[in-house]
Copies of this chain bind each other. A is one copy, B any other.
Amino acid sequence: MSDSAIAAVLASLAEANISYSTDAAVVEAHSVDHTNTVKPGRAAALVRAKSTAQVQTVMRLASQHRVPVVPQGARTGLAGGATATDGALLLDLTAMNQVLSVDAPNRLAVVQPGVLNAEISQATKEHNLRYTPDPGSWEISTIGGNISTGAGGMCCVKYGVTSEYIQALEVVLANGDLMRCGRNTAKGVAGYDLVRLFVGSEGTLGVITEATVRLSPIPAQRLTLAAVFNSTAEAGAAVTSLMGAGLQPSLLELVDAVHMRAIEDMRPSGLPMDAAALLLAASDAANPEAELSAIAAHCEASGATEVHQATDAMEADALMQARRDALHAMEKKGAVLVDDIAVPRTALAQALDAVEEMSRKHGVTIGVIAHAGDGNLHPNIIVDMADPKSVAAGNAAFGEILDVALALGGTVTGEHGVGVLKRDWLRRELDPVNLRMQWAIKQAFDPQGILNPGKVLPSLE
């Protein structure tokens, strides 16, 4: 796109009273997300949309002048899906931040894309309802971003992923047309499922301007257990064993020795420093004690050296704090390259071993926290951003961990998305026919290629 195209768009935006900034510092500050290793392009302007109508105007102008648009929420993404591309308009949707309605009997809420995940449950709490999906970023990430990345979280092991909680969407298409898809009913099969096509599409197919999300009853109580293991293999075996037995923990998280050390260093909390892995499980079943006892039995049978069950909510919270602190504690050690792979649950121990091997091979510190019940691992690689060798070693390990995921029959992203970070690996995960159809869909929705160009899909070769 040319400077004159940008100038024409900006002039029309001004005329339409749509707020924007071309201030270099403002644009630069909005050009990155939480990904450490992605170098953003130089965007032309930051546009702040206040309404669906304004988003339509922006897309009509962008389409008319063939100017790329990068839709953005809170930019907490970890794959570079919302980073700037050259000459693009950054379309900030955080001002569209209203919970428009809550329909308790039908368990639905209608929200704008800039509403924070946590704000939805806040607005529905009085009805004993919550928006279930709980990515780690839930207090700072927007629902628009959650939908666009298909964000996961700790609850998924029992309650499933974002995709299952989105009923309907209002979307502004590349040419500015407004489309509604989905429905207000619990069930429905009228036409192709466009809602789930948009979940995880990272702003490449349209701009989400409104979402109808499904609410769920807040579970009555919740108890927590911690199991200590001397080897990751044993922790992995415990996960396979208890999930295979049909138990349904509401959370099943693994924290490895590297993370435990980092957490202790940040705030001593009595974690077992000689252990290889800590497994945290929670139950919100009607009889959580029975379920946790069964989980404890599987842990012990798999070799846990210690199993501790929280006896009240406060103690359970304390147990969870370590898990919540994990990434923050690692960030005290250096810049963290957050990887995100998922493998079949039974391959969890193999994946953990492979990550340890990568750490040795590349001479970088790598810790793993995992949504263990889902086989979803976050190998967190610590690098020194001022040392090119350290960054290179970290990046090499990062990539080889993705190779491991594919070799174990897994995926290169469990819940963070592809963005710009993993395009090349997407090519290796999908077969060529699938990739061709992905592009055919992109082409159908965005024939000019102006929506978040360069994200998700690798070029066809």
Contacts and interface: CB of A to CB of B under 8 A. Distances in A.
B188 A197 contact: no
> What range describes how many residues of A lie at the interface?
35 or more
Interface in A148-198: 149-150, 152, 156-157, 160-161, 163-164, 173, 177-181, 183-194, 196-197
Interface in A184-221: 184-194, 196-197, 199-201, 205, 217-218
A185 B343 contact: yes
A22 interface: no
A455 to B, nearest CB: 11
Nearest to A285: B286
Most chain B beta carbons < 10 A, residue from A106, A187, A345, A430? A187
Interface of A: 103-108, 127-129, 149-150, 152, 156-157, 160-161, 163-164, 173, 177-181, 183-194, 196-197, 199-201, 205, 217-218, 240, 243-248, 285-287, 290-291, 342-346, 371, 373-376, 409-418, 422, 426, 429-431, 433-435, 437-438, 440-445, 456-457
A179 B431 contact: yes
Given A173-B437, A194-B434, A438-B191, A186 B342 contact: yes
A388 to B, nearest CB: 29
A187 B415 CA distance: 7
A217 B285 CA distance: 14
B438 A192 contact: yes
Give 4 nearest A-B pairs by CB, closest first. Answer: A217-B246, A440-B444, A196-B196, A150-B189
Given A345-B105, A437-B445, A441-B444, A189 B430 contact: no
A253 to B, nearest CB: 14
Given A185-B375, A240-B105, A129 B246 contact: yes
Contacts of A374: 185-187
Contacts of A190: 411-413, 418, 422, 426, 429-430
Contacts of A199: 193
A185 B244 contact: no
Query: How many of these chains are in the complex?
Result: 2
A290 B200 CA distance: 39
9 contacts: A105-B244, A150-B193, A156-B186, A156-B187, A177-B433, A186-B376, A192-B205, A285-B286, A437-B445
A375 B108 CA distance: 14
Most chain B beta carbons < 10 A, residue from A243, A244, A442? A244
Given A173-B433, A200-B192, A444-B443, A160 B156 contact: no
A56 to B, nearest CB: 11
Most chain B beta carbons < 10 A, residue from A374, A411, A413? A411
